[in-house]
Structure 1
Amino acid sequence: MTDLRVNKSQVLGEGYLRSDGRKGIRNITLIVYLVECARHVAQKIASQFDEQQVQVIGFSGCYPNSYAERMMQALCTQPNVGAVLLVSLGCESFNGKALQEQVEASKRPVHFVGIQRVGGTKHAIEQGRQFILEANSELEKVPRVSICWEDLIVGVVSGGSDATSGLTANPAAGLAFDKLVEKGATCIFENTGEMIGLEDDLQRRASRPELGEILKQTIEKAALYYASMGHGSFAPGNAEGGLTTLEEKSIGAYCKSGSSTIVGLLKPCDQPTVSGLYLMDIVPDGVPTFGFPNPNDISEMNELIASGAQCVLFTTGRGSVAGSAISPVIKIMANPENYQRMEENMDINAGKVLSGESSLNEIADEIIDCIAASVRGERTKAEELGHYEFSLGYKFFEPLGPSCLA
């Protein structure tokens, strides 16, 4: 494998320049349904195009939710997105026209199809198809520019963890994060529900005292949330994979953050202001309320992507197959036996650490190389297999204060 680990200004490949100065490593068209009633039309339109270039996302609810609207705005203007088709039934609660205006302001091609207004399913499908044909020619005109490490935002999640996750894949991802931060990239780790008991260490790693106090309060909020809901972030599959307690899982998961100084706290859709390492708070604010979901791997990836992540690392021990509709997902398998079973879904075998074939540092370098290859346009296993999962639920967040941002 070619050694790409040089200075931070190294050109990794060519990306797509957006009007706000950010750079994408993909140039996809999003078809966005604004209520469950419009999903069928959106999927019918997408089915007529290359799935690597046209993806479907949406909000199934028919109720107002500022979180969902902020997520959609952030995802529709994400650096990897080149054009957007909005599909509406016509009577839903989602403010589709406001979303259209926000996408227009980003200088992307955008079109709004109202199923009721255009006369039904077939008319809406045809109108959407015509827009995408026109948008495809516009996407070819997007300026291509060089991408360096400092242009990248990389997120990390874990899912389907087992007893090997905290020994191989997670610490290797953490070492990769340390290397990325050193190169000038921006890195985001999340799932505060799996950091309960680790708040003192988080506080110690903060770049300034006021941020450290807020990081600690963020974990305390997560503990209250799970206590109120009556469950923690621990699934039956975790136990079957050899994890014995939530504490054991949390310590292993925390390894994904590496050892760099934490420069800021983000909530979903917040954009990093300087390069460095950030914690993302994914637990809803306010009093825990019925209807708030238990965070899941897909929604966590979405939230990282909404904050600008052009690619996401995904560590797993049991074997997750999930991908993303917007950003490439790099799968890192912790368990060597499960890697042999699920090799077609995995990009990296971190289990080689247990078999003595590689060190954690060597796996971290493989992760860095895989990110660079993705920037150059090489497809991850999830992309090759057509794993473009998406989910968007209901949450509530208070805006961040200045002490949280870098």
Structure 2
Amino acid sequence: MTKPGAMHAWRRSDGRKGIRNTVVVTYLVECAHHVARQIVRPFEGMDVHVIGFPGCFPNDYSQRMMETLCTHPNVGGVLLVSLGCENFRKGQLFRHIEATGRPVELLTIQHSGGTEASVRLGRDWVSKTLSYLIDAPTVDMVPSELIIGTICGGSDATSGIAGNPAAGRAFDMLLAEGATCIFEETGELIGCEHIIAERAANPALANELVGSVKKAARYYADMGYGSFSQGNAEGGLTTIEEKSMGAYAKSGSACIQGIVKPCIVPPKQGLYLLDVVPDGPPRFGFPNINDNAEIIELISCGAHAVIFVTGRGSVVGSAISPVLKVCANPETFARMPEDMDVNAGRILSENASLEDVGTEIRDKVIALGQAGQTASERLGHQEFVLTYKSFDPLGPACLPNVAAA
């Protein structure tokens, strides 16, 4: 029997629990994207999302991302949509999903009669799978089983003094309850690397934290482009260091237990930094072309939900995991209330305390496991971006407590 106030979740074969039971329709090359979109059209407002990889040739990062996302605990079933002649390792992906016990089907457009026939077959499969999943039993879930990510985007001068500190306070609360929390954006921590290092679990990890931020600075210098937008400047920010101080605040105050990279689930509870900047010289372009690429990488690390802080105003959500929007600027909140979940601007305009807003964020995260929805979910936002990257394996200093996991 469900305990009063408990979260409701779906248990997966690997023991993890999901707060959603989503069917993902996954295109394996851009040529199959339209068919995937057409398949989900009749299911608007239902828990059916489109994700996919546009490239014809995969790399190890894209393959791991697709395997990890299709078996995320929030995913209940997967329809793979292939054109047929792409080089993506679809058989490997299919077998990886099948081994978890989830419903999975591979639809190949060139073998199924083309666009219209494939759309009909895909819709039939999704309908049957939804009927099957509706009867799936749920189990109780407690905060210590959650993985929560945080990101900031569309930042302005209020982000670092209201929204991000409030998100950091919510992180501290969730961590105190045993949850796992992940913050990222090493390209927006430039200038704060030594402050971050002071919170490391040990000196070796401290060196890795400094190195990850320095790597981001080198990468952006090589690209001739930094993580500082025109909108940031219009919102009152003046330097990347100033922006970094605000971005740093959303990590809270807890000890940092390790560094992860995309597709690596933290091995034990605690606070982790996600390094999203590719290793080696620039090969595939910018580290992240927009906020949604970073959201998806947080989700690939197991995030059940993502706290998104914005001052200028961002409307995006995500496929697979809900995105909770925390608005730092009271004027932005007044203009865009239907897109926001928490008005952290109350700290500036109504003398609300950091503790109060942090508690509101924490409570709304928990409510997502109690049939609650975010604003972006209600509005139908299911953005998804996946491009090419390249990463080296993590060194032992990045996860110093892995042996104890």
Same fold (TM over 0.5): yes
Alpha-carbon distance, 1:290 to partner: 4.9
Describe how 1:228-247 pairs up with structure 2 within 5 A.
Answer: 228-247=222-241
Q: 2:314 matched to which residue of 1?
A: 320
Aligned residue-pair number: 398
2:13 counterpart of 1:22: no
Check conservation: 1:12, 1:149, Cα contact below 8 A: no
**What letter matches 2:84 in structure 1?**
G
Q: Of the candidates 207, 214, 230, which is equivalent to residue 213 of structure 1?
A: 207
**What letter matches 1:303 in structure 2?**
E
Check conservation: 1:11, 1:148, Cα contact below 8 A: no
**What letter matches 2:178 in structure 1?**
G
Determine the C-alpha separation between the residues in 2 that align with 1:133 and 1:345.
Answer: 30
**Percent identity at matched positions?**
55
1:264 is paired with a residue whose SS is strand
**What letter matches 1:307 in structure 2?**
C
Q: 1:66 matched to which residue of 2?
A: 60
Alpha-carbon distance, 1:363 to partner: 0.3
Check conservation: 2:147, 2:180, Cα contact below 8 A: yes
**What letter matches 2:303 in structure 1?**
A
Q: 1:120 matched to which residue of 2?
A: 114
2:134 counterpart of 1:140: yes
Please give the per-residue CA displacement for 1:288-337, whole angstroms capped at 9, x wherever unaligned: 22534444210000000011000000000000000011111100000001
Determine the C-alpha separation between the residues in 2 that align with 1:335 and 1:139.
Answer: 40
Describe how 1:74-223 pairs up with structure 2 within 5 A.
Answer: 74-223=68-217
2:269 counterpart of 1:275: yes
Please give the per-residue CA displacement for 1:208-264, whole angstroms capped at 9, x wherever unaligned: 222111111111111110111111100000000111111100111110001100001
2:368 is paired with a residue whose SS is helix
Q: 1:4 matched to which residue of 2?
A: none
1:111 is paired with a residue whose SS is strand
Alpha-carbon distance, 1:11 to partner: 5.5
Check conservation: 2:277, 2:287, Cα contact below 8 A: no
2:211 is paired with a residue whose SS is helix
Please give the per-residue CA displacement for 1:29-48, whole angstroms capped at 9, x wherever unaligned: 00000011101110111002
Check conservation: 1:11, 1:146, Cα contact below 8 A: no
**What letter matches 1:213 in structure 2?**
N
Determine the C-alpha separation between the residues in 2 that align with 1:140 and 1:152.
Answer: 23
Q: 1:373 matched to which residue of 2?
A: 367
Alpha-carbon distance, 1:372 to partner: 1.4
Alpha-carbon distance, 1:126 to partner: 1.6
Alpha-carbon distance, 1:357 to partner: 3.7
Check conservation: 1:90, 1:114, Cα contact below 8 A: yes
Q: 1:3 matched to which residue of 2?
A: none
Determine the C-alpha separation between the residues in 1 that align with 2:218 and 2:122.
Answer: 45
**What letter matches 1:342 in structure 2?**
M
2:33 counterpart of 1:39: yes
List runs of 5+ in structure 2 lacking aligned partners: none
Determine the C-alpha separation between the residues in 1 that align with 2:274 and 2:136.
Answer: 31
Determine the C-alpha separation between the residues in 1 that align with 2:22 and 2:143.
Answer: 22
Determine the C-alpha separation between the residues in 2 that align with 1:223 and 1:269.
Answer: 23
Check conservation: 1:10, 1:148, Cα contact below 8 A: no
Determine the C-alpha separation between the residues in 1 that align with 2:144 and 2:66.
Answer: 25
2:159 is paired with a residue whose SS is coil
Check conservation: 1:17, 1:142, Cα contact below 8 A: no
Determine the C-alpha separation between the residues in 2 that align with 1:242 and 1:56.
Answer: 36
**What letter matches 1:127 in structure 2?**
L
**What letter matches 1:133 in structure 2?**
S
2:283 counterpart of 1:289: yes
Determine the C-alpha separation between the residues in 1 that align with 2:12 and 2:37.
Answer: 26
Check conservation: 1:171, 1:256, Cα contact below 8 A: yes
2:161 is paired with a residue whose SS is coil
Please give the per-residue CA displacement for 1:120-150, whole angstroms capped at 9, x wherever unaligned: 1122112212211221132134331101011
* 1:375–1:176 CA distance, 2 compared to 1 (3 A): same
Q: 2:341 matched to which residue of 1?
A: 347
List runs of 5+ in structure 1 lacking aligned partners: 1-8
2:216 is paired with a residue whose SS is helix
